[in-house]
Structure 1
Amino acid sequence: MSLIRRNNNDRGLVQNRGVDPFEVMRDFLQWDPFRELSRGVAGGAVTGFLPSFEVKETKNSYVFKADLPGVKQEDLNISLTGNRLTISGQRNEEKKDEGETHFVYERGFGSFSRSFSLPEGIDAEHVQADLKDGVLNVVVPKKPEVQPKRILIKGAHEGDTKANA
């Protein structure tokens, strides 16, 4: 790869030959500046584990899903304190036998903890969680009194006897 400085008519732009600009843009758009901090990268090897979460609100509840491959149910802890939901756990590293050569080792292991602040009106007594096929699913229901209710709108002609007279 060589950098060539163009003449002054080009306003000092540098042209980079031999590099696919689409590849550079793809790499840039997929770059997460916090990934290295959160995963604990040391010397190019991933040393931590931080699962990705999906959080959504439905009519009746808040749903939290996390991909936790290799995490056992006994290694998970889910707690609700006030309006703060905390999900923590760990994924243990597999035993490495001497004499084995690892050419690529990108899987992360270790402890993780994620906390989420929930709005008022959750039903803490009926929270449910299950771990199936490596996916954690936590459902935090809303109290019935905070669920949306449809309000009927009366028109000027409904129930108004003077408007019909």
Structure 2
Amino acid sequence: MFWQSIRPFRNWNPWNDLEQISTRLNRLIGGDEDMDKDNTDMVAGQRLAQCSPRYAYWENDEAVFLAMEMPGVNEKSLEIDLQGNTLSVSGVMDDFLPEGFNKDCRVGSCGRKYARQFSLGDGLNHDEIKAVMKDGLLRLTLPKIKTTASRRIEVQGD
């Protein structure tokens, strides 16, 4: 019997209580219940949850290959920017509703926005980067700058 009385406290999380207080205060002042969350954007009247896509990379002598999971994103809604040595990738999930359904979303997030940045090293050829989007997987090939082989220089005396 003792364990039954303690059990409700096992799953208690104080952050949930703070979240509920914040939501109630926002409703009281007439604000949106999600207005204090910094991980959302308003795009085309819909609230999109932003997340960082999962990625993996491989490297060989010629290039770095980067793969990122971005389900629901097509090549038209994908943006890849390179500024200096910072590669920024972002994309918005396509509208998946069939015709005749209202886009007004009442529960959960209506869509998803992916965003991630990478710091690139100096040994990559920024002009030759290639990107392919297929089946929700973005594949980036970042070729390395070809360096000349080192050689030994003979020193001659007078």
Pairing partner for 1:68 from 39, 59, 70: 70
Partners of 1:66 and 1:89 in 2: CA distance: 11
> Which ranges of 4 or more aligned residues in structure 1 deviate by more than 6 Å?
37-40, 105-108
**Which residue is equivalent to 1:143?**
145
Which letter does structure 2 place at the counterpart of 1:73? Answer: E
Q: Secondary structure of 1:145's match?
A: coil
Unaligned runs of 5+ in 2: 11-36, 41-47, 152-158
User: CA 1:132–1:2 in structure 2 vs 1: closer, same or farther (change >3 Å)?
Assistant: farther
**Which residue identity is paired with 2:134?**
K
Residues 1:48 and 2:49 aligned together: yes
Cα distance per residue 1:43-102 (max 9 Å; x no partner): xxxx6253211123222212211112211110001121221111111113433736xxxx
TM-score, structure 1 normalization: 0.52
How many residue pairs were aligned?
112
- In structure 1, C-alpha distance between the alignment counterparts of 2:150 and 2:143, rounded to whole Å: 19
> In 2, are the aligned partners of 1:93 and 1:110 still within 8 Å (CA)?
no
**Counterpart of 1:144 in structure 2: which amino acid?**
K
Partners in 2 of 1:2 and 1:106 — Cα distance? 38
In angstroms, what is the RMSD of aligned CA positions?
Answer: 3.8
Q: d(CA) in 2 for partners of 1:56 and 1:106?
A: 35
Question: Which residue is 1:11 aligned to?
Answer: none
Instruction: Please state if 1:3 is matched with 2:3.
Output: yes
Identity across the alignment (%) = 24
Q: Is the 2:62–2:143 Cα contact (8 Å) retained in structure 1?
A: yes
Structure 2 length as normaliser, TM-score?
Answer: 0.54
Structure 1 residue runs of 5 or longer lacking an equivalent are 5-15, 20-36, 41-46, 99-104, 152-165
| Aligned with 1:85 (options 84, 87, 97) | 87
Give the structure, 1 or 2, with the largest relative contact order (CA under 8 Å, sep 6 or more).
2
Structure 1 residues 136 and 2: alpha-carbon distance in aligned structure 2, compared to 1, 3 A threshold: farther
The alpha carbon displacement at 1:129 in A equals 0.6
In structure 1, C-alpha distance between the alignment counterparts of 2:54 and 2:67, rounded to whole Å: 8
Contact 1:38–1:48 (Cα < 8 Å) also in 2: no
Q: Which residue of 2 aligns with 1:26?
A: none
